[in-house]
Amino acid sequence: MDPFNQEELKMYFTENRLKSFEGWPFDEDCVCTPESMAKAGFIHTPSENSPDTAMCFFCLKELEGWEPEDDPEKEHKSHSPSCNFIALKKKVEELTVEEIFKLQKDRHKFLIKKSCNEAIVKFEETAKQTRTDIIKTAEGEE
Ligand SMILES: [Zn+2]
């Protein structure tokens, strides 16, 4: 992995995250506008059943069920207190190469954690199904 790859760094910038918020259900007279959502690190990741799902590009925390008066930054901090991005005190443009490198390392930890959790869930589902199948077969042989 090249930590300074353009694609890798794209989502660090608010304007690139903002582009994902097309069709976001909250716009005028709301606290959680596309602008404030993007500023707080979120990208819009809607699905058929949840049109208001947003995910932090950094810690990958997904939040849905937004209310117009929700403050994206506060929600992000309270639901994902270990996110290094939302805790940043500087603007991305002001970070040093060293700081970006460190952030990218932290971000990859979140990515690895998420894919491991997904693999565990999948494994457990398969194990459960296999157990059911074995019991069925055993019962059928009695
Ligand atoms: Zn985050």
Span from the CA of 82 to the centroid of ligand 1 (angstroms): 8
Span from the CA of 49 to the centroid of ligand 1 (angstroms): 23
Burial class of residue 69 (count of CB atoms within 10 Å of its CB; 0-12, 13-18, 19+): exposed
3-state DSSP assignment of residue 24: coil
- Model pLDDT for residues 83-100, shown as the tens digit of each residue: 999 999 999 999 999 999
| Residues 109-133, mean pLDDT to the nearest whole number | 96
| Residues 99-109, mean pLDDT to the nearest whole number | 94
Span from the CA of 133 to the centroid of ligand 1 (angstroms): 40
Span from the CA of 84 to the centroid of ligand 1 (angstroms): 7
3-state DSSP assignment of residue 74: helix
Span from the CA of 130 to the centroid of ligand 1 (angstroms): 36
From the list 6, 7, 9, 5, the residue with the least C-alpha distance to 107 is 9
pLDDT of residue 6: 78
Contacts of 115 (CB under 8 A, 6+ apart): none
Span from the CA of 124 to the centroid of ligand 1 (angstroms): 27
Span from the CA of 62 to the centroid of ligand 1 (angstroms): 9
Among all chains, which residue has been given the structure tokens 């995250």? 17
Q: State the distance between the two ends of the chain, measured CA to CA, in whole angstroms.
A: 55
Span from the CA of 38 to the centroid of ligand 1 (angstroms): 11
Span from the CA of 119 to the centroid of ligand 1 (angstroms): 21
Q: Read off the tokens for 74.
A: 């506060």
3-state DSSP assignment of residue 13: coil
- Model pLDDT for residues 12-46, shown as the tens digit of each residue: 999 999 999 999 999 889 999 999 999 999 999 99
Domains and CATH numbers, the chain: 6-107 (1.10.1170.10)
3-state SS track over 87-134? CCCCCHHHCCHHHHHHHHHHHHHHHHHHHHHHHHHHHHHHHHHHHHHH
Look at the pTM and tell me if it is higher than 0.75. Answer: yes
pLDDT of residue 30: 94
